[in-house]
Chains A and B, each alone.
Chain A
């Protein structure tokens, strides 16, 4: 059974600081996804990582994937308040993106 673990579960950080969210998964997988969710809203796709060593960046967020370590990271650079949200990683279970296994999420709060 595929398990996806995120840490930390809660993260409170000051504006301007850097931090990293970690996503570990238990079995071989084809793709890894990062989503953002604002309170009471749906999920917004941030990144899709397709291969070992993949790195993608959008603004202050950068995601990377190490398939050998079964680890993905989401790095936040010089955090701003607008990045406050819950971040989820998710992994394919069947080499098809109709079945995703999600981590429990990291609730990120940026303090001015």
Chain B
């Protein structure tokens, strides 16, 4: 199992550009989530999905879109990048019920918007 994979690992964007952060998991997890991590603020939930075709907003959804067309993939789209979106982005996945309960995190994407 590769677990949770994310691409790219690093990205630099100019203000106003758009891009998609990729996330995939091979554990047949129902739940997938996107978080951003900023210094001194812990992780904050951007969007999440409880299954293919179902997505919902988290704490900080503005400026981001998601879709879940398959169980395995959960891409995060930045519509028009802003410097405030400079952050480290983590994708996570988990089972919907039963053990193990914990979320499994990908390696992260470090995004800089200039």
Please encode chain B, from 71 to 114, with 1 for each CB lying within 8 Å of some chain A CB and 0 for all others: 00000000000000000001000101000111111111000000
For chain A, the count of residues having a C-beta within 8 Å of the partner chain is 22
Please state if B50 and A98 are interface contacts (CB–CB under 8 Å): yes
From known contacts A33-B102, A48-B100, A48-B101, infer whether A97 and B42 are also in contact, taking CB-CB under 8 Å: no
For chain B, give the interface size range.
Answer: 20 to 34
* Residues of A contacting B94 in the complex (Cβ-Cβ under 8 angstroms): 97-98
Contact with B along A34-45 (1 / 0, CB 8 A): 010000011101
Q: Check if A25 is an interface residue, CB within 8 A of chain B.
A: no
Let me know if A102 and B42 touch, CB within 8 A. yes
Query: With A88-B43, A102-B43, A102-B44 known to touch, is A96 a contact of B104 (CB < 8 Å)?
Result: no
Q: Kindly report which residue of chain A lies nearest to residue B51, judged by CB atoms.
A: A98
Q: Does B61 touch A at the CB level, under 8 Å?
A: no
Q: Which residues of A contact B50 (CB under 8 A)?
A: 96, 98
Chain B residue nearest to A1 in the complex (CB): B59
Give the complex CA separation of A103 and B45 in angstroms.
Answer: 12
Does A50 reach chain B (CB closer than 8 Å)? yes
Chain A residues lying within 8 Å of B48, measured Cβ to Cβ, are 98-99
Question: Which of B31, B35, B58, B102 makes the CB contact (< 8 A) with A45?
Answer: B102
Asked whether A48 lies within 8 Å of B42 as measured between CB atoms, the reply is no
Give chain B nearest CB distance to A34 CB in angstroms: 10
Contact between B42 and A88, CB atoms less than 8 A apart: yes
Q: Given that A43-B105, A45-B104 are contacting pairs, would A99 and B96 also be in contact in the complex, using a CB cutoff of 8 Å?
A: no
Q: Which residues does A use to contact B, with CB under 8 Å?
A: 4, 31, 33, 35, 41-43, 45, 48, 50, 88, 90, 96-105
Among all A-B residue pairs, the 7 with the closest Cβ atoms: A98-B31, A102-B42, A45-B102, A102-B43, A104-B42, A43-B105, A42-B105
